[in-house]
Amino acid sequence: MHPMLNIAVRAARAAGNVISLNFEDHQNVSAEEKAKNDLVTNVDRECEKVIKDILLKSYPKHCVKGEEFG
């Protein structure tokens, strides 16, 4: 597999782990409305941060644009 693809798969799996850890315990999940009919949870933000951190660790000169943090 291509090295970039390996990093992307690693980032996706790490975000999946964050989701799995929070799936059973709904008390740890908080949601807020970003805009009308547009909710975001702390889990959404944590997943995006995990993905970004993994990508930038391997490719520090790359730019990452996300839905929650821009």
CATH assignment at residue 41: 3.30.540.10
> What is the structure's pLDDT at 59?
96
- Residue 67 has a pLDDT of 87
Let me know if residue 7 belongs to a domain. Answer: yes
Which residues span the domain enclosing 45?
3-58
Task: Give the chain's domain count.
Answer: 1
Q: What is the pLDDT of residues 30-60, one digit of tens each?
A: 888 888 888 899 999 999 999 999 999 999 9
Q: How confident is the model at residue 9 (pLDDT cuts 50, 70, 90)?
A: very high
List the end-to-end C-alpha distance of the chain, in Å, as a whole number: 29
Please spell the DSSP secondary structure of the chain, one letter per residue. --HHHHHHHHHHHHHHHHHHHHHS-GGG--EEEEETTEEEEHHHHHHHHHHHHHHHHH-TTS----TTT-
